[in-house]
A and B are shown apart, each in its own frame.
Chain A
């Protein structure tokens, strides 16, 4: 029993000792950003800190969860959402500063398959539709994000309906918990086909998946947009605004373009 107590005491010392060392006094801003922006924003962090003149921290998660956190008063300075709806909800409640919203980025949904799959070649819209129909009739499984919770899944359903092929695959959909899971399914062959964002397809290891078809932006009811805005509760709105300014600047734009985003 004594040695247990000693271990506990020792671990307390270790825990608190290192905890106090970690506390810093530097000015910082916190950006809550959609999970799909993780890679590109992490890479931009050093340049962003130089531009903003403060430490820039990111909180990555699903846009819905990030919105919920802001609604409950989490100390966020900038919200960079992958969904227009979540931003609109915060706007309606006055939780983001009116006039700071910018719809910075757009994306596309693409049909992907394994490395051996054949890309579609339909030259006209009608031909593309027939090709798509034929391909989907042959497949036994199409992976998409769960349309109830995953934005990419919602867009996938919209695109499939627009092309009139939703009924063909409705009974053979594998619903994934998030868009990267769809990518995993296709990468490891669990599903022969999947629908993901163009940026996800680009992020996959070279040669692991093939892009078969890009759904034109016009085929979606609601455009894919990534809005960013300053959070009303921010204690440092000036730096937060500078962060958005940085995201509109050239270094950020180049990084977004390289990751496959479409710039607005």
Chain B
């Protein structure tokens, strides 16, 4: 039981955090790519900050921001929501530290899409939203996928920020990395080895899933791209 709970919790936290980073990271990347956002560089630097900070510091800032003494925390507690020391806090911590990875990958993936193809779709009368979903997104999928894989891995391994804002409560907020650390610290090597094996299995599974999607994706995109149009096929 004591081993099962961190595993379940970690998977849950990593999945949710990755889902949120995917939506937010992709959205922000798209926003910054298409529109002249004022102070764009500064916003980008802010998104990247958790990459630079030691995770404990990120966790400390989250603790201050969500704690009852901050305006946000006070508002939440008036609504009867206390985030600190819940698994929601673990999701938030993982989200914040993995967002930079998702954002950067999505940004690069969107920038790599041939704008001539998007323009062609526009001349054929497709609306902006549909251009994005029917043309840009499918072409950018490999890059977005690798961003998703990185974010998931980072979320799964999150330690410092989680420890600070979600606490280290066995059976409640103790994720695999926290349980692993506790097991090593107290010399419970069997527990540590099991958790280590699970982590290794999860990362192998992740790589497998990504490569399956990549193979499928490349199979689908057999239509001639801008570069090889008109050239004889091998």
Contact = CB atoms under 8 A, between A and B. Distances in A.
Interface of A: 1, 3-4, 8, 11-12, 14-15, 18-19, 30, 32, 35, 38-39, 42, 57-61, 65, 68-69, 72-76, 178, 180, 203-205, 233
5 contacts: A32-B167, A61-B167, A72-B67, A72-B73, A75-B85
Interface centre among B16, B87, B168, B173 (most CB of A within 10 A): B168
Contact of A61 (B12, B15, B163, B216): B163
B138 A69 contact: no
A231 to B, nearest CB: 12
Interface string B22-41: 10000000000000000000
Q: Majority SS of interface residues in chain B?
A: helix
A178 B85 CA distance: 23
Given A15-B15, A69-B84, 20 more contacts: A3-B216, A4-B213, A8-B19, A8-B22, A14-B15, A30-B85, A42-B170, A57-B170, A57-B171, A59-B85, A59-B167, A59-B168, A60-B182, A61-B168, A72-B64, A72-B68, A73-B77, A73-B84, A74-B63, A74-B67
Interface string B162-183: 0110011111110000000010
Contacts of B12: 14-15, 18-19
Nearest to B74: A73
Contact of A69 (B15, B164, B171, B216): B164
Contact of A68 (B8, B16, B60, B68): B60
A232 B125 CA distance: 65
Nearest to A184: B184
Contact of B186 (A30, A39, A72, A73): A39
Contacts of B64: 72
A72 B63 contact: yes
Given A69-B84, A73-B84, A58 B169 contact: yes
A65 B15 contact: no
Contacts of A32: 167
Contacts of A75: 82, 84-85
Interface string B5-24: 00010001001100100100
Nearest to A1: B138
Contacts of B85: 30, 59, 69, 74-76
Contact of A203 (B19, B141, B186, B213): B186
B221 to A, nearest CB: 11
Of all A-B residue pairs in the complex, the 8 with the closest CB atoms, nearest first, are A73-B68, A72-B67, A59-B167, A180-B185, A73-B67, A74-B84, A11-B15, A59-B169
A19 B88 CA distance: 10
A89 B171 CA distance: 29
B69 interface: yes
Contact of A30 (B67, B169, B213): B169
Contacts of A19: 12, 87
Nearest to A4: B213
B137 interface: yes
A81 B85 CA distance: 18
A65 B182 contact: no
B224 interface: no
B8 A18 contact: yes
A73 B77 CA distance: 10
B70 to A, nearest CB: 8
Nearest to A45: B170
A195 B124 CA distance: 75
Contacts of A57: 169-172
Contacts of B141: 1
B187 interface: yes
Contacts of A233: 68
Contact of B187 (A15, A65, A178, A205): A205
A213 to B, nearest CB: 22
Contacts of B173: 59
Given A4-B213, A60-B182, A69-B63, A74 B167 contact: yes
Interface centre among B22, B77, B84, B87 (most CB of A within 10 A): B84
B62 to A, nearest CB: 10
